[in-house]
Structure 1
Amino acid sequence: MAELVTIRCLSDNYAYLVHGGGQTVLIDAPEAAPILAELKARGWSLDEILLTHHHADHIQAVPEIVAATGARVTGNAEDAARLPRLDRAVRPDESFDLCGEQATVIDVPGHTVGHVAYHLPQAGLVFTADSLMALGCGRLFEGTPAQMWNSLSRLNALPGETVVCSGHDYCAGNGAFALSVDGDNGDLRQRLEDTKAGRRPCSPATLEDERRTNPFLRAPQLAASLGMKGARDAEVFARLRRMKDEFRG
């Protein structure tokens, strides 16, 4: 079974190491020092870096890490012009060998139009970066609300026990917003209490956790309380995303 290591980088980024099948893989490269330190502490050599999207806080450490480890770089062929040089260009719905199993590329536009996620079904992991996030979702810098809703729906179709590894620790802000629109949700309140007490991390969390507590996945259930009964799910999501953008709680 693959081993997962979460690494905090910069002020609020997450990077992840997956170790299994005689291979070590890094998902996103926000900051070199903590990643290289973790590799050294565990005695692991890095084989590959998977990139989810082109934003600097996910790719800026690639040159330094490649220079130190010789790792090859994998990313979305359809966004290659905005990524560091790719040794392996993959496309949505493509599968490839990773850590002794087949990983699948999932198209998740919205935050950016070239954003992808990586699903390792045998390990029960999905790396979603700034698409589906703990208690939230990424801002729509390039894509449309409909694109992001479709992306979240695609991820939501994975098995509930899948562990969602997102790109940032935005738990305080996301949790406060979630309470503002779904305050009667006992699962949400319990999750926030458990995180505050140190009984569980906010991220990673299972997809089932997100289904029960993430307002963006719960758009259909929140429609009536938003005065949108009968509206399409994507329209309810769009309203929630606008509300989050304007939220100052």
Structure 2
Amino acid sequence: MKNKNKITVLLILCCVFMISGCKPQKDIVGEIMPVTAEYKKQPIMEYFQKKDKFVNVSSSVGIRNEDESLTIKGMTLKYYPNDKKAYGVYSVDQYFNQGKRIESSEIPLMLDENGYQVKNGYELIEEIRNFIFMSEEVAFTPEYIKSLKVENTDYTFEVPSYSVTYLFLNTNDEIKEYLKKKDLLQYGEGYSVVFGKKGRGYGGGDMTLNVNNEKELYISETFNQNISEEGTDYKGQYLGEEMTTNE
């Protein structure tokens, strides 16, 4: 009877570990490597053309204001391989501390070899004209990743989902220069970076750069390669055609 109880307890513990994320750190880090490999310091159009399929990318900056509200500014692009162009939006959102959105605006846009253009009736503001994705300026090579300190790893069995948090031990000059170009260097140079992905195999992932420990500023980017022509029709939105939102 005692042996049966021990076996039962062991089985329960095994199930708990599987569900809560019992997985070797090296395995989780290995799953994340394809996400870090997206950062090759290449123009975003060059990245799209190498994929030659529908791809979604987004990049946003979140800034905590003195009144504890949160301002998020960023861009989402969807590449249309037949057109050799990307369409999307530049958005600005403000949230109260509780997460309720209080203000939102979007500018439909298009990106091709000649740069960014906006839909007729909108202004091509400097933030769009000179927009830079972090993947265009920063390279997370395998050698550099190995030099970072793994602060935390997380794995959820059901999805499955993986994430790794790395601490910066030294100044990253590429990140520092990127923040300078974005006029964000006053917040710091980079405290930690979190890479994550969901699902089996690799179809994309996400990155969050925490610029300081107080979380006054963060930068998030996502890559999604498992999409089709269906979904949010940014091209239709830009051209003034009917837009679908099945994505």
Q: Same fold (TM over 0.5)?
A: no
TM-score normalised over the length of structure 2: 0.26
Q: Choose 1 or 2 for highest CA Rg.
A: 2
Q: Which has the higher helix share?
A: 1
Name whichever structure is richer in strand by fraction. Answer: 2
